[in-house]
Amino acid sequence: MSGPAESEAAVPEGVPSGVVVVMPAYNAALTLERTYADIPHPLVERIILVDDVSRDATVEIARQLGLDVIIHRQNLGYGGNQKTCYDAALAAGARIVVMLHPDYQYDATRIPALIAPILDGRRDMMLGSRFLGDPLAGGMPRWKYVSNRFLTGLENAAFGLRLSEYHTGFRAYSRQLLETIPYRLNSDDFVFDQELVAQAVAAGFRLGEIAVPTRYFAEASSVGLQRSIVYGLSTLRVVARFLLHRLRIRRSAKLAARPRDSRRAP
């Protein structure tokens, strides 16, 4: 269902934008401006930031930058934040939705390469992978490297893919994918991302990836060891649920959606 990383490609000229960037934000004041500056603005129609009750100046900075800002009245978690992001992007008429963490860990200048395979119809979902380069050289802690490698290998075996990373905060989705899969049934926690991947694979959507450089620095957000353990165990449950569903042992409503045109990945 997935081959090697996508070749570098420019966004075709003359293509109407319809590209909406969404940022699930929590205490991103120190990095938001740098992230925003790297976005290729002529290509992007709208930027929506959803704030999860930040305790810093995230909202004020976002408004100064001219972003569309949605403020949660209570913290809904990383997954809950993304649900609001995708609902808002679809309501805004997005053809392609780019999810970008506002913590400057991911290179937003790579957005054209990330969305090109979706625009030309080769992929439905794209991931920005740190593991197509050297994440350790970019400052990734070794324990994160090892756990990411382990979980990615397990997911590749379960999903029948050959991706280098699933655990990235830089992704792009086609409108059809987001309108098809029931992402609102997913967790409000960090495992939301892996549930969405499992839904996309179960529905036959086509996944791909490009390389993005790794950035780890003091101001960037990072999940600690305890939360990472919970996330790892939750990811294992996602894989188990996917396999039970695929083997028709225990069907899952989260994984039951099918694309309207019944496409299957090559």
CA–CA separation, 126 vs 233, rounded Å? 24
CA–CA separation, 92 vs 109, rounded Å? 23
Question: According to the 3-state scheme, what is the secondary structure of the chain?
Answer: CCCCCCCCCCCCCCCCCCEEEEEEECCCCCCHHHHHHHCCHHHCCEEEEEECCCCCCHHHHHHHCCCEEEECCCCCHHHHHHHHHHHHHHHCCCCEEEEECCCCCCCHHHHHHHHHHHHCCCCCEEEEECCCCCCCCCCCCHHHHHHHHHHHHHHHHHHCCCCCCCCCCEEEEEHHHHHHCCHHHCCCCCCHHHHHHHHHHHCCCCEEEEECCCCCCCCCCCCCHHHHHHHHHHHHHHHHHHHHHHCCCCCCHHHCCCCCCCCCCC
- Mean pLDDT in consecutive groups of 10 residues from the start of the chain, 266 residues: 59 70 97 97 97 97 98 97 98 98 96 97 97 92 94 98 97 98 97 98 97 80 77 97 97 84 42
CA–CA separation, 250 vs 22, rounded Å? 34
What was the pLDDT predicted at 68? Answer: 98
* 185 falls within a domain: yes
* 80 falls within a domain: yes
* 13 falls within a domain: no
Residues 6+ apart with CB under 8 A from 7: none
Structure tokens at 148: 């990411």
Q: 166 lies in which domain range?
A: 19-255
CA–CA separation, 52 vs 81, rounded Å? 7
CATH number at residue 23: 3.90.550.10
Q: Are 215 and 104 in contact (CB under 8 A)?
A: yes
* 186 falls within a domain: yes
What was the pLDDT predicted at 101? Answer: 97
* 11 falls within a domain: no
CA distances to 29, 98, 206, 214, 246 from 58, rounded to whole Å, are: 4, 20, 35, 23, 42
CA–CA separation, 66 vs 216, rounded Å? 27
Q: Which one, of 57, 69, 67, lies nearest residue 28 by Cα? A: 57
Q: Output the pTM of the full model.
A: 0.90
What was the pLDDT predicted at 168? Answer: 96
What was the pLDDT predicted at 257? Answer: 83
What was the pLDDT predicted at 129? Answer: 97
- Overall domain count for the chain: 1
What was the pLDDT predicted at 15? Answer: 53
What was the pLDDT predicted at 264? Answer: 41
CA–CA separation, 49 vs 62, rounded Å? 7
* 266 falls within a domain: no
* 260 falls within a domain: no
What was the pLDDT predicted at 46? Answer: 97
* 5 falls within a domain: no
What was the pLDDT predicted at 266? Answer: 35
